[in-house]
Structure 1
Amino acid sequence: MSSDTPTLSRLLPHSDEIPPDPAERTLAGLYALPEDPWVRVNMISTVDGAAWGPDGQSASINDAADWRVFRVLRALADVVLVGAGTARQEGYSHLTRPHGLEHLTGAPLELAIVTRSGRVPWSTLDGPHPPLVVTGSAGALEAGAAVGDDRVLVCPDGTADGVDLRAARDALAARGLGQVLCEGGPGLLGDVLAAGLVDELCVTTSPRLAGPGAGRIVAGLAGHELGSGHDLRLGHLLAGPAGTLLARWELV
């Protein structure tokens, strides 16, 4: 673990400190997943609600405290679910377990791309095996050409190019990938909320102001309703030394 890894302070439900630990035993316990399947979302936001910085990427608003928790969440997941647009914008590539945390989960970490069109970001095709692709009927052919038919989860929602995300979650679980870490972006988060699939929402609040321009962490198509039943209960709240807040919210 690098020398600049910060100590985190747990503010709620009780106050203590979580010093740097290469094995991250305490954080792994705090973020342990209660059951399978489980959909956890991890997002970051500035204090004024921006989902990314001036460069259009979330990396420009995170810090070492966020990175510490980010690594643990990936180490505990079976699969990272991300929208194709976010994968392109953020430069996603082949995923591996975070170095030094391989002991938390033995299996390889999978990447699953959600794309209505079936177009797969080229950056995600650079590893030893391609990502899984979640798409509808309209995108199946193009996705299969990119990654192979065995890596495509065709989950039509009955519209021309829509994706049934509930069917996608079940298809991932059928492959032994029941612990889903959704990393957005905002459009996909809006969709999984609307589908009633989110079990918990981990939100880092970066101590920055972005001003107008950047979108919020939840977005959707025009007329797309999130529906009801999105009350939250705070599981815990951590604080980094620079004022970064890391909350684990459970949907009730």
Structure 2
Amino acid sequence: MRRLFPHSAPSLPAPDTASPVAVPDSVDREWTLEELADAYGYPEADDPVRAGRTGWLRANMVSSMDGAAHHEGRSQPLSSDADMRIFGVLRGLADAVVVGAETVRQEGYRPARAREAFAARRAAAGQGPAPAIVVVTAGLGLDFSLPLFAAPLVPTLVLTGAGAPADRVREARAAGVEVLFAGEGLGVDPERVAPTLAERGHTRLLTEGGPKLLGQFAAAGALDEMCLSLAPVVAVGDAPRVMNGPAVAVPERFALVSVLEEAGFLFTRYRRS
């Protein structure tokens, strides 16, 4: 892996010393998980970029060269070993992973697991052993007997609207699942997700889509950061784009933060400008 942007100058030893030369990020090499975690760290609460925001919502998606968000319903065919390492790091840094119900069903979501590589970092940040999975759903058409709900290391949350089917809400709660309301109608209001989760202490948020949920976040102005992996493959077909939501009156501009590359994959990071 190498950094394409921003450029980093090599660190050289002082003359006449035996100190080793630090390898610049632009040299292709395998990055450690610690290096990746430093590169993808969340902005601190007092960072000016977070002014006026109760939390920080970043997205992580992979796309083919022709803009497909998945192939035959799953993102795995577009992924790579490096993409999965970054996927794991982003989860290791997050308080909670926000995901749509359809993605939970299609991708066969399981509970997030604790990873020793991130244990000390999470403890220092006051985080639990693993991020909570937060499922966004309008109809609660979920199987609450699955391990994601029945046997998580950290309790899975269901996020819906106050107008959700009352019988399904009761069924979820009877199964021991905590249901939170972030909207007055049938579904969730995207701009209320971060404040609702912040009340539970979850301010470092990661969403993994799907495209419909991510499009709703973006259209509502609730998305703070986009981590987009561009795969060097062509999928064609009729798969949706990584964002598939309501139109916006004026396209919103994001600023490029960094670009990493490995084996032809580009790992980009953008922030709301």
Q: TM-score range by the shorter chain?
A: 0.7 to 0.9
- Note the residue ranges of structure 1 that are not aligned, 5 or more in a row: 1-7
Summarize deviations over 1:218-252 as a string: whole Å, max 9, x none.
102xxx22343620111000001x20110001111
Alignment match of 2:237 (pick from 193, 208, 212):
212
Alignment match of 1:57 (pick from 74, 84, 101):
74
Q: What is the deviation of 1:42? A: 0.3
1:134-145 correspondence to structure 2 within 5 Å: 134-139=159-164, 141=166, 142-145=168-171
Q: Cα RMSD (Å) of the superposition?
A: 2.0
Q: What is the deviation of 1:120? A: 2.6
Amino acid at match of 2:133: L
Q: TM-score, normalised by structure 1?
A: 0.86
How many pairs are equivalent? 237
Q: What is the deviation of 1:193? A: 0.7
CA contact (8 A) 1:88 1:121 kept: no
Counterpart residue number, 1:182: 207
**What is the distance in 2 between the residues matched to 1:18 and 1:113?**
37
1:1-252 correspondence to structure 2 within 5 Å: 8-14=1-7, 16-17=26-27, 19-20=29-30, 24-36=33-45, 37-53=55-71, 55-106=72-123, 107=128, 108-122=130-144, 123=146, 124-128=148-152, 130-139=155-164, 141=166, 142-148=168-174, 151-157=178-184, 159=185, 161-220=186-245, 224-228=246-250, 230-240=252-262, 242-252=263-273
**What is the distance in 2 between the residues matched to 1:165 and 1:185?**
14
Counterpart residue number, 1:5: none
Where 1:82 maps in the other structure, the secondary structure is: strand
Q: What is the deviation of 1:18? A: 6.8
Summarize deviations over 1:79-135 as a string: whole Å, max 9, x none.
000000011000001112345322331313100000011223444224246510110
Residues 103 and 49 of structure 1: is their aligned pair in 2 closer, same or farther, counting only changes over 3 Å? same
Counterpart residue number, 1:4: none
Where 1:69 maps in the other structure, the secondary structure is: helix
Residues 203 and 147 of structure 1: is their aligned pair in 2 closer, same or farther, counting only changes over 3 Å? farther
CA contact (8 A) 1:239 1:245 kept: yes
Rg bigger for which structure? Answer: 2
Summarize deviations over 1:53-76 as a string: whole Å, max 9, x none.
1x3100111000101111110000
Give aligned-pair identity as a percent.
Answer: 35
Summarize deviations over 1:2-22 as a string: whole Å, max 9, x none.
xxxxxx111111152474355
Where 2:222 maps in the other structure, the secondary structure is: coil
Q: What is the deviation of 1:208? A: 0.5
Residues 143 and 93 of structure 1: is their aligned pair in 2 closer, same or farther, counting only changes over 3 Å? farther
**What is the distance in 2 between the residues matched to 1:64 and 1:152?**
35
Q: TM-score, normalised by structure 2?
A: 0.80
Summarize deviations over 1:166-186 as a string: whole Å, max 9, x none.
222111111110111000000
Where 2:238 maps in the other structure, the secondary structure is: coil
**What is the distance in 1 between the residues matched to 2:165 and 2:119?**
33
Structure 1's consecutive aligned runs of 4 or more residues displaced over 6 angstroms after TM superposition are none
Amino acid at match of 2:26: D
- Note the residue ranges of structure 2 that are not aligned, 5 or more in a row: 8-24, 46-54
CA contact (8 A) 1:47 1:208 kept: yes
